[in-house]
Amino acid sequence: MKKLLNADPITGKRTIFESGADGHRVTTTVNVDPVKDLAKESANNYRYGDMIGNTQKHKHKVGEIPAILYHHLVDRFGQPKDNPKAWMQWLEENKGFKATGGRLI
């Protein structure tokens, strides 16, 4: 038996309760396609050397990660400021979330 517990049309998050012979399970799914589309658009707008000579532009966006995945990765790697190498490696391996055309590591 499957029962929809919650559905958020804005984030695309769905929570489903499943019951069967092997026990009970709650599954949460999120549609990440809009986030990946935004990351791809940002990567397409990337220009090598764009920050050279511009002293006001100190930060560069490197990725777009959905909130639920971000919190899972925080549990796995720690905060991005504490372990930037692991975060950049993850973005290089999961290019769908990478928002830059340059190399991160």
1-43 per-position pLDDT tens digit:
999 999 998 878 899 999 999 999 999 999 899 899 999 998 8
pLDDT digits (tens, 9 = 90+) for 58-87: 677 899 999 889 999 999 999 999 999 999
Which residues lie below 8 Å from residue 105, measured CB to CB, with a gap of 6+? Answer: 85, 88, 89, 92
Q: Which two tokens stand for residue 60?
A: 């560069």
The per-residue pLDDT for 57 is 64
Confidence of residue 92 (pLDDT cuts 50, 70, 90): very high
What ranges do the domains of the chain cover? 1-31, 32-105
Strand 13-20 with 2-8, pairing: antiparallel
Residue with tokens 């019951």: 19
pTM of the model: 0.74
Rounded Cα gap, residues 53 and 15, in angstroms = 48
Three-state helix/strand/coil letters over 9-75: CCCCEEEEEEEECCEEEEEEEECCHHHHHHHHHHHHCCCCCCCCCCCCCCCCCCECCCHHHHHHHHH
